[in-house]
């Protein structure tokens, strides 16, 4: 089976609009949360989010093109082109045959929800005559970001979208992993983007009792594993990875960040939005990833937890981790305490964090966790306060989504 390595990364996040600024923010323990600016949220139960700041799409995309793309697609364009550049891949300089072997699998949970809302508002504000923007459908549909990334770069390999709620971009990465291992492409652009900080999305998650209402302290609101947590903090942005056949990467002299060594996907088969107390789906996914990598649980340095700061979800995941690792004191950390929850883009952004932790031998800390929930299983090492600088060999990256979807990727230090 072909080995798959990571040769490029790109990011647009609430902590910064490059991989470097994302990583600097994570190491500094900075929260990206703040009062909502995208719409008037004065009458909403939750009036804050982790928004992307300072994003200037006109620096990357021609103005006449921008009107064709929803914000989630704009995030996809910029982050994926950052990743291609980071990998040293300039599509315009590649032969057609080379570009035939490069594909795109891009994820989102909500797609162009902002476009959808805007168009319906315009329709209902009129006289009922159906006057819709001709770009309405191609701006809104979830697969369009994958298509646009391929069109802009002339990439002719496998191209589609994965949708698995908050597990979407981890699923995209694992599908790209399999695509390369099966020989259907030598390089894949994989990741996800989300731009769902909109009235219907915030209002809907509020109605589902999922969002934190800690309006007086937005930066302290996402507090995974803490007994006082009251829900997740919505985020937005994108993460992009370049996955490459090891032989292909070596032949062109590419730098290699890490190796993707295994993955696991499963289902809770339990509830529309809830997770089982025993964390069964999570455990199945983690075990599958470890088995595929051919390592033992004791070889895993830490688990990059889904850890959304919801009461049931956090403890369910920790129960699954305890099932897999037993008495092994595996480290656990929750980056959403800083980035917020990027929904369908979370898996990709947290894959970047996982990979950089391997490169720099550091386990990022979970911030805002001051009083551990009494339900946290004994023996797990929740990293809080400050990052832990220590050798990092393997990292599991967990993602879970409404509908019971689970996806876990396993990254390892590259050794030639």
Q: Which residue numbers are catalytic?
A: 166
Largest CA distance in the chain: 66
Residue 7 makes CB contacts below 8 A (sequence gap 6+) with 86, 87, 88, 242, 243, 244, 249, 254, 255, 256, 257
The three-state DSSP-derived secondary structure of the chain is: CCCEEEEEEEEEECCECCHHHHHHHHHHCCCCCEECCCCCCCCCCCCEEECCCCCCHHHCCCHHHHCCCCHHHHHHHHHHHHHHHHCCCCHHHCCHHHHHCEEEEEECCCCCHHHHHHHHHHHHHCCCCCCCCCCHHHHHCCCHHHHHHHHHHCCCCCEEEECECECHHHHHHHHHHHHHHCCCCCEEEEEEEECCCCHHHHHHHHHCCCECCCCCCHHHCCCCCECCCCCECEECEEEEEEEEEHHHHHHCCCCCCEEEEEEEEEECCCCCCCCCCCCHHHHHHHHHHHHHHCCCHHHCCEEECCCCCCHHHHHHHHHHHHHHHCCCCCEEECCHHHHCECHHHHHHHHHHHHHHHHHHCEECCECCCCCECCCCCCCCEECECCCEECCCCEEEEEEEECCCEEEEEEEECCCC
- Residue 277, number of CB atoms within 10 A of its CB: 12
């Amino acid at each position: 089976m072909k080995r798959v390595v990571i040769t490029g990364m790109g990011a647009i996040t609430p902590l910064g609009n490059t991989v470097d600024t994302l990583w600097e923010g994570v190491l500094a323990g900075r929260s990206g949360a703040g009062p909502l600016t995208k719409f008037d949220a004065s009458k909403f139960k939750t009036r804050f989010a982790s928004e992307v700041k300072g994003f200037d799409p006109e620096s990357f995309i021609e103005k006449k093109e921008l009107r064709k793309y929803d914000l989630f697609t704009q995030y996809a364009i910029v982050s994926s082109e950052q990743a291609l550049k980071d990998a040293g891949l300039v599509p315009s300089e590649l032969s057609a045959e080379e570009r035939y072997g490069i594909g795109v699998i891009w994820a989102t949970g909500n797609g162009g929800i902002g476009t959808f809302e805007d168009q319906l508002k315009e329709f209902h504000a009129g006289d009922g005559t159906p006057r819709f923007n001709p770009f309405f459908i191609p701006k809104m549909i979830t697969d369009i970001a994958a298509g646009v990334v391929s069109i802009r770069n002339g990439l002719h390999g496998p191209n589609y979208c994965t949708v698995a709620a908050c597990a979407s971009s981890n699923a995209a990465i694992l599908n790209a992993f399999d695509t390369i291992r099966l020989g259907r492409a030598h390089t894949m652009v994989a990741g996800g983007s989300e731009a769902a900080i909109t009235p219907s999305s915030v209002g809907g998650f509020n109605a589902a009792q999922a969002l934190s209402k800690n309006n007086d302290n937005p930066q302290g609101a996402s507090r995974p594993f803490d007994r006082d947590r009251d829900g997740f903090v919505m985020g937005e942005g994108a993460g992009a990875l370049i996955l490459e056949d090891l032989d292909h990467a070596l032949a062109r002299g590419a730098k290699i960040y890490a190796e993707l060594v295994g993955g696991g996907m499963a289902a809770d088969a339990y509830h529309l939005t809830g997770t089982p107390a025993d964390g069964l789906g999570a455990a199945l996914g983690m075990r599958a990833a470890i088995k595929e990598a051919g390592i033992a649980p004791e070889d895993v340095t830490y688990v990059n937890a889904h850890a959304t700061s919801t009461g049931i979800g956090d403890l369910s995941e920790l129960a699954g981790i305890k099932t897999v690792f037993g008495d092994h004191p595996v480290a656990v950390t929750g980056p959403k305490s800083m980035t917020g929850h990027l929904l369908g883009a979370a898996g990709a952004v947290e894959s970047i964090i996982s990979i950089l932790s391997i490169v720099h031998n550091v386990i990022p800390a979970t911030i805002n966790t001051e009083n551990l929930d009494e339900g946290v299983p004994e023996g797990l090492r929740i990293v809080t306060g400050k990052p832990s600088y220590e050798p990092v060999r393997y990292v599991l990256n967990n993602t879970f989504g409404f509908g019971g979807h689970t996806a876990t990727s396993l990254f390892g230090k590259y050794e030639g």
